[in-house]
Structure 1
Amino acid sequence: MGIFATGGIEQAGYVLTGALSSAVAGAQAPLLGDFNIAVWGTFVGTLTLENSYDAGTTWIPVINKHTGNNITWTTPGALQEDEVEAGVYYRLRMTAFTSGTANWRISQGMNTGDHRRLT
């Protein structure tokens, strides 16, 4: 997904973006199926991917299926994840902050199919 050329048309079916420059959380969205997360910018801090099974009342750090560690960023990077259960919300939270701005993007494709559509 993304944009093929500067000023071009966004190819993702759903995009949520933001910037964090303090120890706060970004916007949240329910995701279902495959989705991408990207973090960039010049920042000193730690961003943690969190999910909620109760519409945002309780947030839990997401564990990487391969490493068993919380999914975090201390430098720019991107990750592709998936969600199999409808109604699960995701967000990025700056869990430690020193300086700078961390830009972020969570996106989902347009061809996720009826059974994997955003709620």
Structure 2
Amino acid sequence: MATGKVTGAFSQTGPSESFAPDSRPGAPRRFNLSLWGSFTGVVGVERSFDRGASWIGCSRDGAGTPAVYSTPVSLVLEEPEAGVLYRLNCSTLSSGAVSYRLSQ
């Protein structure tokens, strides 16, 4: 688990290292998510409430649309609860590589 930032590139399917937004009292829990590169694949955003024992796919909206991306994207996310971990999971990769960054 990393705090501050997690960076890397998917050249095959699988999860990234986990990332913990700052959970100090009063700390902002906003963080950045960026995916870029020339790729054909799908990357999802997941979070864990039990220190990484299990992972749940995040949604993009209140309607439950999965937070999965198949094109480059850069977002600012916010986590209201302390101690929640995040990671990216590349579920499909047909070609290219997906560079990523989770940072605060």
Range class of TM-score, shorter chain: 0.7 to 0.9
- Where does the alignment leave 5 or more consecutive residues of structure 2 unmatched? 23-28
Q: Distance in 1 between matches of 2:5 and 2:92?
A: 25
Separation in 1 of the partners of 2:71 and 2:62?
Answer: 20
Q: Which runs of 4+ in 1 moved over 3 A?
A: none
Bigger Cα Rg: 1
The aligned runs of 1:67-86 (5 Å cut-off) are 68-86=64-82
Q: Which residue of 1 aligns with 2:53?
A: 57
1:19 partnered with 2:15:
no
**Other-structure match for 2:26:** none
In structure 2, the residue matched to 1:48 is 44
Q: Is the Cα contact below 8 Å between 2:4 and 2:21 reproduced in 1?
A: no
TM-score by length of 1: 0.75
Structure 1 residues without counterparts, runs of 5 or longer: 1-12, 109-119
- Structure 1 residues 79 and 67, CA gap change in structure 2 (3 angstroms): farther
Q: Residue in 2 aligned with 1:117?
A: none
Aligned length: 96
**TM score, norm. by length of structure 2:** 0.85
* 2:47/2:84 contact within 8 Å kept: yes
CA distance in 2, matches of 1:67, 1:102: 27
Identity %, equivalent residues: 34
